[in-house]
A and B are shown apart, each in its own frame.
Chain A
């Protein structure tokens, strides 16, 4: 690893060079192996969910949208299978964000940047775009050769390029298309899109996401991870010596020699490492680095170099995992000749798991116990209290009643408050004495003005708690809230 470079050997990196460098294009080679299979599987799963989820139906009854996952912006509703969220419940998303962030920390403390290598959309789409490129233009060597001989634009070469970009654009377009389907009834929107009847905003979003997907996955690729994404920097600060990172076990690999030379030297009883310097690990790396130089910012820990090297090791009959997921502790320990140890359960991972469990638990609990009927009350500020001509006192409140259920309700409004107080609801649908009732249509809110009047006598306190109760007179479901009744 610590090879010293003679400054005289340096050509490209001298101080008089330009302040910027052109990107060195990366030509990752295809590879087969365990991690590649895991990556294919995860890619299929993630893309499958993303592209097809909008088409999953979920019956919520008449008048309600029957799309399983729907972000209904005009009506400010979010539907996720059996869950329907209202704007005032956005704190669930806060919870989700906390869980997501801590899950990222947990992943990081267990396996370094495995998010980057396997699940990050940038990686998933770039991987897919590479597969397309490979399909049309061939593997690493072929692509490098073709790019070098750019002048030879034969019809065959031209058709390859056109087909590649066309396929990329189609994938990118579908990516943008799937995005807008989350915001509208998918089958309807597809029909509208095909007949050019869809809202302009839909085309704009599809255009934006087509462009970003095409550019980010087709051209920016590893540069997004290296230069644009903040996570590698943050991750470096969060990682610890127990985290498993893709590591070249140089204690086993060095010193590198070709297979033939290694055999000769071994026969002479000299020490040589397992690395045969075949550069396979470099050839497959999607960020174009040499993992044998140690941990690097660019490494997204995709494990493809592990697969590549494992294949080499199998071929030359040496044990696998010259490159593998390993941690700092073991690099140290192996140097000291001790057996490696792995510890996934440790205070850090336990703390992260506990936070995830706690936040998740709170969210599930709140979700399970939330009511579909609710009342919020706001006391009038100006005037706080009014004296009526007979000397009695009245306080006014603005109430918002929420009916989150799928059917209309008849709601009765009662109060427990000052002695002999009465309630009047402006716009009540029916008023049996002292018990105003109001109909709230399903899945909606009603704003009401509540007037509470109490005689001055018998209520000597300056401020008396008052409790507003709303009851569904059909189902009996009830909710309540408290406020104060004040004297002028």
Chain B
């Protein structure tokens, strides 16, 4: 600014900076002192901030700051607080019976909300975020249940699992009729077509229905029941409905009969607390398939 000594604006009498645009010169207007001081203070503040808080990115991490502050620790504290706030309600949930929860709108709402988040965290990897399921993983929105769809049955399945190794787990085995040599390949094709006919699906031209029925009665009725209606005690699916866990096309059925199926549902007892398991059962039941 020293270059422009002696340059003054004729109207105001103030000195100019010498910068000129379209004949308009910029006045040399000093900043107010408090403004300048505030500006320097913000710089000092920023330096202090760098020292006190995590600020500078390093190659694989960042500076920690002398306070050791971390937003992750903050989140942990907040979550702990949340659990404390919810504590009473979760205790009430743990104490209520499943039937009582269904009748109490407040508990029901809590159980559904809690169940939904827990489901997302634990069950969604297999059953999908909306419990729509996938091949081999049941859709929990429909009304077809391998091990029963009442609140108590759902709770039991979540608690102990299926083929999970837990002492009280659901057991049940679809035998590998082909691999074990019980049925010959042509017999498997025949019985597969018979099973398709049970739920009204078209069958292969010229297959022997009587032979199929005979094979079915000899080998399958023990688990799947008369007419293939299924048995929830054994987790044997109903073969007459429209819902197929692994698929209903002939090739899939042949594969199922030849090699067997044994999907595993883990046991959640011990991994989740009882109130949470209860909430999850209520949530799954409320998805709409519950009986």
| Residues of chain A having any CB pair with chain B under 8 Å | 2, 4-5, 7, 9-10, 13-23, 223, 227, 293, 380-383, 386-391, 394, 396, 424, 426-427, 429, 446-447, 449, 451
Shortest C-beta distance, B32 to chain A (Å), equals 6
Asked if B195 lies at the interface with its beta carbon under 8 angstroms from chain A, I say no
User: Would you give 22 A-B contacts (Cβ < 8 Å), ordered by A?
Assistant: A2-B10, A4-B10, A4-B11, A5-B8, A7-B8, A13-B14, A16-B5, A20-B31, A20-B36, A21-B31, A21-B32, A381-B130, A382-B128, A382-B129, A383-B130, A387-B142, A389-B241, A390-B242, A394-B142, A396-B288, A427-B286, A449-B288
CA distance A16 to B30 in the complex (A): 11
- From known contacts A15-B4, A23-B34, infer whether A394 and B11 are also in contact, taking CB-CB under 8 Å: no
Contacts A5-B12, A17-B30 aside, 18 further interface pairs with beta carbons under 8 A come to: A13-B15, A14-B15, A15-B2, A15-B28, A16-B2, A19-B36, A20-B35, A20-B36, A21-B32, A382-B130, A382-B132, A383-B139, A386-B141, A386-B289, A389-B142, A389-B241, A426-B288, A429-B105
Contacts of A381 in B (CB 8 A): 130
Contact A19 B30 (CB under 8 A): yes
Contact B288 A394 (CB under 8 A): yes
Shortest C-beta distance, A18 to chain B (Å), equals 7
CA distance A7 to B7 in the complex (A): 8
Contact B6 A2 (CB under 8 A): no
Contact B242 A389 (CB under 8 A): yes
CA distance A341 to B263 in the complex (A): 91
Shortest C-beta distance, A250 to chain B (Å), equals 13
Shortest C-beta distance, B197 to chain A (Å), equals 16
- From known contacts A13-B14, A14-B15, A15-B4, infer whether A386 and B32 are also in contact, taking CB-CB under 8 Å: no
CA distance A302 to B235 in the complex (A): 86
| Residues of chain B having any CB pair with chain A under 8 Å | 1-2, 4-6, 8, 10-15, 28, 30-36, 102, 105, 108-109, 112, 128-132, 139, 141-144, 238, 241-243, 286-289
CA distance A10 to B143 in the complex (A): 93
Contacts of A22 in B (CB 8 A): 32-33
Contacts of A5 in B (CB 8 A): 8, 10, 12-13
Contacts of B28 in A (CB 8 A): 13, 15
Contacts of A424 in B (CB 8 A): 288
- From known contacts A10-B15, A382-B128, infer whether A23 and B144 are also in contact, taking CB-CB under 8 Å: no
Contact B33 A21 (CB under 8 A): yes
Q: 5 closest pairs, A vs B, by CB?
A: A5-B13, A382-B130, A389-B241, A383-B132, A20-B36
- From known contacts A21-B30, A21-B33, infer whether A383 and B242 are also in contact, taking CB-CB under 8 Å: no
CA distance A21 to B15 in the complex (A): 14
Contact B139 A386 (CB under 8 A): yes
Cross-interface CB contact of A386 among B1, B8, B102, B142, cutoff 8 Å:
B142
CA distance A390 to B143 in the complex (A): 9
Contacts of A7 in B (CB 8 A): 6, 8, 13, 15
Shortest C-beta distance, B157 to chain A (Å), equals 18
Contacts of A380 in B (CB 8 A): 130
Contact B141 A383 (CB under 8 A): yes
Chain A residue nearest in CB terms to B10:
A4
CA distance A381 to B131 in the complex (A): 11
Chain A residue nearest in CB terms to B9:
A5
CA distance A429 to B238 in the complex (A): 32
Chain A residue nearest in CB terms to B3:
A15
Contact B105 A427 (CB under 8 A): yes
- By CB atoms of chain A within 10 A, which of B2, B5, B242 has the most? B242
CA distance A446 to B5 in the complex (A): 75
Contacts of B108 in A (CB 8 A): 427
- From known contacts A10-B15, A382-B128, A382-B132, infer whether A19 and B31 are also in contact, taking CB-CB under 8 Å: yes
Contacts of B287 in A (CB 8 A): 396
CA distance A16 to B129 in the complex (A): 71
CA distance A426 to B34 in the complex (A): 65
- From known contacts A21-B30, A227-B35, A451-B288, infer whether A388 and B142 are also in contact, taking CB-CB under 8 Å: yes
Contacts of A394 in B (CB 8 A): 141-142, 288
Contacts of B1 in A (CB 8 A): 15
CA distance A460 to B6 in the complex (A): 90
Shortest C-beta distance, B6 to chain A (Å), equals 6
Contact A20 B15 (CB under 8 A): no
CA distance A142 to B243 in the complex (A): 96
CA distance A386 to B287 in the complex (A): 11
CA distance A19 to B17 in the complex (A): 12
Contacts of B31 in A (CB 8 A): 19-21
Shortest C-beta distance, B97 to chain A (Å), equals 16
Contacts of B36 in A (CB 8 A): 19-20
Contacts of B241 in A (CB 8 A): 389-390
Shortest C-beta distance, B7 to chain A (Å), equals 9
Shortest C-beta distance, B129 to chain A (Å), equals 6
Contact A223 B34 (CB under 8 A): yes
CA distance A9 to B12 in the complex (A): 12
Contact A426 B128 (CB under 8 A): no
Chain A residue nearest in CB terms to B105:
A427
Chain B residue nearest in CB terms to A380:
B130
Contacts of B102 in A (CB 8 A): 427
Chain B residue nearest in CB terms to A228:
B35
